[in-house]
Chain A
Amino acid sequence: MERLLHIENLSASYSKRFDVLSKVNISLAKGEIIAVIGENGSGKSTLLKSICGLLNYSTGSIRLQNKEIKDWDKKEMSKILSYVSSSEKVNSMILVDEFVGFGRYPYSNWLAKLSEQDEMHIDDALIACGVAYLKNKMMGQLSDGENQKVYLARAIAQQTPFIILDEPTTHLDIKSSNAIFKLLRNQKTENRSILFSSHQVEKALQIADKVWLVDCGRVIETTPKEFLGNDELKQLVFGEE
């Protein structure tokens, strides 16, 4: 499979004192779904933020479509990669329709005028995520589950081949979590690469092709099958039984 992302010898940190991630070597192919798992504070979000270009890494290399992340023009990169995080604080007065429309920002002019094609992508994304009925609601009126679906709709409207999601099922009930995992799995039919972090390990493993296990700054690349058959790896995530 064609390689979309390649990370080599990556070390990333928030301060000069110590590295949150150390000597990471991993890669992601087109159309692959990868689950990032690990305990709180292990460096999952740091890894995802580094890939998105939100964090300046100290050493190593992150190459997206064979081009270093640091060298990408951010506007051009936003046509390749979209990012979803539940920790972002969104203005409550924005309409759902407008919010999903932000996914078309990389393609619109300085007046943010949306074309018919843009409108079509927005409607398609809302329908794909099952939130078309929320179109005229304000973001502040949504439940946590609806919020996550709308966030994903924005990323889908962005029409990128690669979507990164930082804990898309946080604070969600079982039904809403299942709906999100189903939506992520559906992206495979669009040949999109999905990289997501989650604490719901069992469900994440059901839809993932590969697993990146983050532990104390190192990242272990494995498959769901290998992970489930390896007690040592399971212990790193679930602790001692």
Chain B
Amino acid sequence: MKNSIAFSLLFVSLLLLFVIDVIFGSVSIPFNDFIDLLNGKTISKSYELIIMDSRIPKALTAILCGASLSLAGLLMQTLFRNPLAGPYILGISSGAGLGVAILVMGAGFLGITITSGLSTNLAAVLGAITFLIILFLVSLKVKDVMTLLIFGVMLGSISTAIIGLIKFFSTDYQLKSFVIWTLGSLSAVSYMELTILGLLLFFGILLAFQQAKNLNAILIGENFAKVLGVSILNTRLISILISGLLAGLTTALCGPIGFVGIIIPHLCRMIFRTSNHFILIPSCILLGANILLLSDILAHLPSNGLSLPINSITSMIGIPIILWIIFGKKALSKSF
């Protein structure tokens, strides 16, 4: 009963935040105009353009990215049984970053200037998928999950080192383009890209639910789970695939968005007081979407047309929550 109330509240707040995110911004849209547009009535052309071409895609991006990162974070925390694991723990987003760095700054060596958002996204997707394939192959060979975790961290470090080298030889303009990408943005995603992310999230959720029973079993210990007939390798490969693809595509479309994937699973465990994935998966998706929508609203608070980097907002929300969880609650590791 308590769970259904919490789910209902999350759903209602998601709708409310969606509406606020759409009507609130550098140009405020009257609520009645928004409702009229939804009812198919004619409203001011400029309002219609702002809502349909900018605000709704941005709000949908926040929902899909927040849900994707939270789901990916939950799967990684369970798989590695580590409270600080998140969607980026395996270095897949570093792969996306490396792809973008090679494109934005590396292309400069060839005398080419890259400005297209599509090519940046493609480079990020290629980088993320390359790292995902490497991790996938390694995870087939490596038996111990901690070895895999360290390998992922090493992959991230290698890409940071290569990015550092590329930065050293880059021009100011190229450096600025890359830094802007790393700050993250929800406002440059097209409906086509949203459809792809939406489909990926949909299949990710289906696969995650299909693995929920096995993920629950992992929480009582890998050996217990194996003797209960759980294929740890299958669960590991599917979890890495879902998290990798979701984190990789999210990073490709919006840049790296910090903390959402780490804090949301913890908040859900606290709110629902459970480790059951049949409850955690939908709750993480809903709460993740809520938090990123809220972050997007906060990013527009300074008004006068200025929009703060989304990554800074999620970090400002995330860090106090993590500190509150660490100091206000029992030892985090005990939950794992």
Contact = CB atoms under 8 A, between A and B. Distances in A.
Given A89-B221, A93-B269, A140-B334, A112 B227 contact: no
A108 B273 CA distance: 23
A49 B334 CA distance: 26
A181 interface: no
A82 B213 CA distance: 18
A53 B227 contact: yes
A88 B221 contact: yes
Contact of A98 (B269, B276, B335, B336): B276
A83 interface: yes
A78 B335 contact: no
B134 to A, nearest CB: 26
Contact of A88 (B212, B216, B223, B276): B223
B330 to A, nearest CB: 8
B90 to A, nearest CB: 21
**Interface residue tally of chain B, by bracket?**
20 to 34
A76 B227 CA distance: 10
Interface string A135-156: 0000010000000000000000
A17 B5 CA distance: 58
Given A105-B213, A110-B210, A140-B334, A94 B228 contact: no
Interface residues of A, number: 32
A102 B220 contact: yes
A90 B221 contact: yes
A44 to B, nearest CB: 15
B229 A78 contact: yes
B227 A82 contact: yes
A212 interface: no
24 contacts: A53-B227, A54-B223, A54-B226, A73-B229, A77-B229, A83-B223, A83-B224, A88-B223, A89-B336, A90-B219, A91-B336, A92-B334, A92-B336, A93-B269, A93-B335, A102-B220, A102-B224, A105-B217, A106-B228, A108-B213, A110-B213, A112-B212, A112-B213, A112-B216
A111 interface: yes
A108 B230 CA distance: 13
A99 B335 contact: no
Interface string B274-285: 111010000000
A102 B227 CA distance: 11
Interface string A65-96: 00000000111111001110100111111100
Contact of A94 (B220, B230, B278): B220
A190 B219 CA distance: 29
Contacts of B300: none
Nearest to A85: B223
Nearest to A74: B229
Nearest to B229: A75
Contacts of A125: none
B265 to A, nearest CB: 12
Nearest to A73: B229
Most chain B beta carbons < 10 A, residue from A54, A74, A105, A111? A105
